[in-house]
Amino acid sequence: MAIAKAERLMNLALCLLGTRRPLTKRELRASIEAYLEVGGGSGRGGEDAFNRMFERDKDDLRELGLVIETVENLEGEIAYQARRDSNRLPPVALDAEEAAALTLAAKVWQQARLAGAASGALQKLRAAGMPLADSGAEDPYGGHSALEPRIPVREAAFEPLMLACRDRRPVTFAYRKSNAARPGTRHVEPWTLECWRGHWYLAGHDRDRGAERVFRLSRITGPVRSRAGAYTAEVPDHVTVRETVERWAGEIATATARIRLRQGAGYPLRARALRTREAGDGWDELEIPYGHGLDAWLVEFGPDVVVLEPADLRADVVDRLRAVAKG
């Protein structure tokens, strides 16, 4: 929604909520600056333009949930009012489990730009008497929480992509694949952001390739630019999108791989290992699930991992390491 329209709707809503008596269109137009500027503010053309804008704005506010009453005043004119008692939300009531979930969710965002909004929301709920625990205080179950989750959001691309996903706006950005020396331009219809193993991924429709794709935010270089226009591909449900991210990140395995891992390193790999045995000289041999995207993950462990088999996985890892060395 454009800023000018959002401001106009907000002013109209405040007028309708703040008045003690119903207001006519003439009175509302005189109270809201944006309406005075429509069509030059005078003449038949200006009046018709204002009437069309007012009707659209009134419909938009009703669609957003504002209850607007239409009455006839003493002069026989149609007037409008949004009574506060008709537009008051019911009291917020949370049980201990729901309060604990909200507190936990707010802690997750402490390193993101959403931290201020999350903390502010908790303060308002506490002021209303909700049983929310302070950080470091006892939790709603009477104990001390040992779980301190964090989702790091260091990538500059996170916020513009989050807004683009919310508003369903296509985006353009430069993206460097792990096996490429230089970034390429991507034109994407963003669906959702998912966090996997501490990294953020964008799932969406790649317009140039005409298919769904997953992009790791840390590989986006430069600014994310929004583009006008509607989506050209249907947005799948959230469950399908999450499965796409997990498959790309190697979570959904289709085979197994054998790797050599330096002792004392690669705990995430050890946690997923199907079998582990000591290989000598400070190395262990592991059998791990093998799915799409495993090569990109193994490269992150650098010299602590050596792929034994399958051969295609070993070749992919070697190619990625060579590309990084050249870059």
Domain boundaries, the chain: 3-86, 92-142, 158-247, 255-326
Per-range mean pLDDT, top range of 110-114, 130-134, 142-146, 300-304: 300-304
Percent of the chain having pLDDT more than 70?
74
Segment holding 24, helix H or strand E: strand 23-24
Looking at residue 122, its pLDDT comes to 67
Query: Quick check: 186 and 204 in contact, CB under 8 A?
Result: no
Query: Quick check: 263 and 284 in contact, CB under 8 A?
Result: yes
- pLDDT (mean) for 210-232: 90
Helix spans in 85-145 (H): 96-108, 115-127
- pLDDT (mean) for 25-43: 80
- The topology under which CATH files domain 158-247 is SH3 type barrels. (2.30.30)
Looking at residue 289, its pLDDT comes to 85
Q: Chain-centre distance of CA 41, in angstroms? A: 41
Comparing C-alpha atoms, which of 19, 5, 2, 18 is closest to residue 59? 5
**Dihedrals φ, ψ of 236, to 5°?**
-75, 170
- Single-letter amino acid, residue 205: H
Q: What is the largest CA-CA distance in the chain?
A: 96
Between 323 and 226, where is the model more confident? 226
- The average confidence (pLDDT) of the chain is 80
Q: Given pLDDT bands bounded at 50, 70 and 90, which one contains residue 22?
A: very high
- Scanning the structure block, which residue is given the tokens 């009291």? 91
- pLDDT (mean) for 48-61: 91
Which of 41-55, 192-206, 275-289 is the least confident region? 41-55
- pLDDT (mean) for 146-170: 76
Q: What is the CATH number of domain 3-86?
A: 1.10.10.10
Omega prior to 310 cis, within 30 of 0: yes
Taking the C-alpha atoms of residue 293 and residue 325, their distance in angstroms, rounded to an integer, is 20
Same fold, 3-86 and 158-247: no
